[in-house]
Chain A
Amino acid sequence: MGNLVSLPIIGRAGYAFDNAMLNLLLPMHVQLDQEGRIIHVGPTFAKLLAFEPVVAGKHLFDYIHFSYPPNILTNHSLVAHFGMPLTAQIKAQGGFDLKAVAVAGNAGILVNFAFGTSLKEAVSHWHLNSKDFSAADPTVEMLYVIEVQSVLLEASRSLNDRLNGQREEAEEKAYTDPLTGLPNRRALNRYVKRLHCQRVPTDFAVFLIDLDHFKLVNDTLGHAAGDQVLQKVAEILLNETRPTDIVARTGGDEFVLVLEDAEDISPLEAIAKRIIRKIEHPVLWEGQNCYVGASIGIVCAHTKDNRSIDFHLQSADEALYNSKNNGRGTFRFVG
């Protein structure tokens, strides 16, 4: 190591710091002569240059590149930056940013280096331990914090992922009718709100569907039969709609469809007829046929009207009432 000349540095108060003292106080320092040639290297800094055969008298700039401020390329410019915060890298070991500060010593220049944000990587790269740092240096404490923080950050990330999964699951449950798997009333509200938030305004139709004679099935064949009917109806309604539409179960035997881009009446009529025909088809339950029918009230609306789903359902309910009064098993439009 370049420990050939031992020049005491005399501080202003007259204290002499010899190299042994400086090694203890500043284990990552380098002493240069007036021309910038290396006179002495602190023990930890010597470790960083271990792959380089450091010879006293060589120039610091052969090993170190100052990246900030720019253009510190000569001893002269280093002198001009005395006392300022510098950033440097070891040329042979790119990637590790060192912090540095240079001061004038009576014998020449003293540059002290430190690991900044590269501390954790540097410690593992050079197998450093607490003895490589000054006893009065908070590096060890910093390492505890860094290590623990990375463990906790990882743990917190995985915890958040799991909580998020559970939240989505709970939300899914809160928006779903457990019997049919269809969206419920709450989901319907959310769907219609989103529909109104769309950038492009759209026509849409609301079908309010009420089953006919459902109570009879429930009363004569039991709730299990009724449940089977409801599941079958759900299946029929899903088959009659597009993925962008919504089919919701909003009450015991009440279903709501919202169909987007519904400009013309005739396709809506066709859908309503098909739904009624299919629902009238008996559902087999334990060897018995369950007969139900469907009455439908239909509202055509536009997102520009900015009405709530409750408003539309009220209108649809009037049309539904008309259907029921017209002998059931049919549909009516509002207005």
Chain B
Amino acid sequence: MHGMINRGLQSYICDVHGVDVWEETCEQAKLPFCDFEYMLTYDDSTTEDLLNSFGALTHRKRDEILEDFGTYMVSDNALNVMRRLLKFGGSSYVEFLHSLNFVYDRAKMAVPDLDIPTMELVENNPTQFVLYTRFRKRGFGPTLLGLLRALANDYNMLVSITHSRRILKHVDEDIFTINLLRKKGCANNTPELVRD
């Protein structure tokens, strides 16, 4: 897994649980170091070992951790770059969802060896979208779930998202069905979708 992602995981554990927990996590995972480099690529097993030891330390399931990590990635003051770039996708949640179609290519252009899922958005109707993502690394769907929920919150949009996973031969396919309920702060139940 790319150093940027491992480094993100490091920031998440350090920021949310403290440096002590991070160092303990590394030790339990039998890592010979505690700092990931942004520009190196690490074995996938390293990331898995980290997730396992962190899960054992905090008594949390892998999916739960990854979803929380996804939320953290786009929260304020954390990995600001991620948040800035994703929010640049549009001024409303719907615009943001549409911009996800381009994120893979843009990210690959900037960091060619970054591990990132391909994403395809299908609009069923103005209040229901389905996001299909495919990723060669297995079991990371919950990260995207956390991210999608956090950004909905950020755009003041009340949403319900259901997540299902299909294990294909070479990739994981994660399917997110996103229902827009209403814009927060609007008393009526009709969705107010700003499209400019």
Contacts and interface: CB of A to CB of B under 8 A. Distances in A.
A291 B89 CA distance: 82
Contacts of B110: 144-145, 147-149
B87 to A, nearest CB: 7
Interface in B88-139: 88-91, 95, 99, 102, 106-107, 109-111
A150 B85 CA distance: 13
B89 A147 contact: no
A41 to B, nearest CB: 17
B76 interface: no
Contact of B91 (A129, A141, A150): A129
A148 B37 contact: no
Interface string A137-152: 0001101110111111
Contacts, number: 54
Contacts of A147: 81, 84-85, 110
B89 A129 contact: yes
Contact of B38 (A128, A130, A140, A151): A151
Given A140-B88, A144-B107, A144-B110, A131 B102 contact: no
A130 B99 contact: yes
A23 B84 CA distance: 25
A148 B111 contact: yes
Interface in A235-283: none
B38 to A, nearest CB: 4
B39 A152 contact: yes
A212 to B, nearest CB: 48
A130 B97 CA distance: 13
A159 B99 CA distance: 33
Contact of B90 (A130, A143, A145, A155): A130
A156 interface: yes
B20 interface: no
A155 B95 contact: no
Interface in B28-53: 37-39
A123 interface: yes
B85 A144 contact: yes
Contact of A131 (B4, B38, B196): B196
Nearest to B105: A141
A23 to B, nearest CB: 11
A151 B80 CA distance: 10
Contacts of A149: 110
Residue among A130, A141, A152 with the highest chain B CB neighbour number at 10 A: A130
Contacts of A150: 81
A150 B37 CA distance: 15
Contacts of A130: 88-90, 95, 99
B10 to A, nearest CB: 12
Nearest to B103: A144
A144 B39 CA distance: 16
A149 to B, nearest CB: 8
Contacts of A155: 37-39
B90 A131 contact: yes
B87 A129 contact: yes
Residue among B84, B88, B95, B102 with the highest chain A CB neighbour number at 10 A: B88
Contacts of B99: 130, 140
Which 7 residue pairs spanning A and B have beta carbons closest together?
Answer: A155-B38, A148-B110, A144-B110, A144-B106, A147-B81, A145-B110, A129-B88
28 contacts: A124-B84, A128-B88, A129-B87, A129-B90, A129-B91, A129-B95, A130-B88, A130-B89, A130-B90, A131-B91, A131-B196, A140-B99, A140-B106, A141-B109, A143-B85, A144-B107, A144-B110, A145-B109, A145-B110, A147-B84, A148-B81, A148-B110, A149-B110, A150-B81, A151-B81, A152-B38, A156-B39, A159-B37
Interface of B: 4, 37-39, 81, 84-85, 87-91, 95, 99, 102, 106-107, 109-111, 196
Interface of A: 123-124, 128-131, 140-141, 143-145, 147-152, 155-156, 159
